[in-house]
Amino acid sequence: MTAPKFTTGQRVRIADRTPPVHHRVPSYAKGQVGIIERVCGMHGEPEKFIRGDGKPAQRLYRVTIPQTELWKPYDGTASDILEIEIFEHWLEPAA
């Protein structure tokens, strides 16, 4: 098994793409920058499960995104966050 590509506390961007297959990334999260809260381990990749490609494993991460970045304008507090689990192939380093 390879080492995680991202580490806890690292800033990442969720890819902004819409593949023509089943995927588990909500549109409001695409293109957003967040922080890796934890590495959740290896899990089955939904894009491949739906095609019946067996049981491939892909690393999953919990990413936190400030609600103020997701929803404009947001009336809650600056400490409100979304926690979302995203597969590694949807993440890229963010500046």
pLDDT per residue over 19-76, tens digit each? Answer: 877 678 999 999 999 999 999 988 776 666 666 655 677 899 999 999 999 998 899 9
Long-range Cβ pairs for the range 28-32 (8 Å, 24+) = 28/70, 29/65, 29/70, 29/82, 29/84, 29/86, 32/65, 32/69, 32/70
Residue 47 included in any domain = yes
Decide which of 79 and 19 is more confident: 79
Question: What DSSP character marks residue 3?
Answer: P
Residue 69 included in any domain = yes
Residue 84 included in any domain = yes
This prediction has a pTM of: 0.84
Domain of 65 in residue numbering reads as 11-93
Residue 41 included in any domain = yes
The amino acid sitting at 69 is: E
Residue 1 included in any domain = no
Residue 6 included in any domain = no
Q: What is the CATH number of the domain that holds 30?
A: 2.30.30.50
pLDDT at 9: 97
- The number of distinct structural domains making up the chain is 1
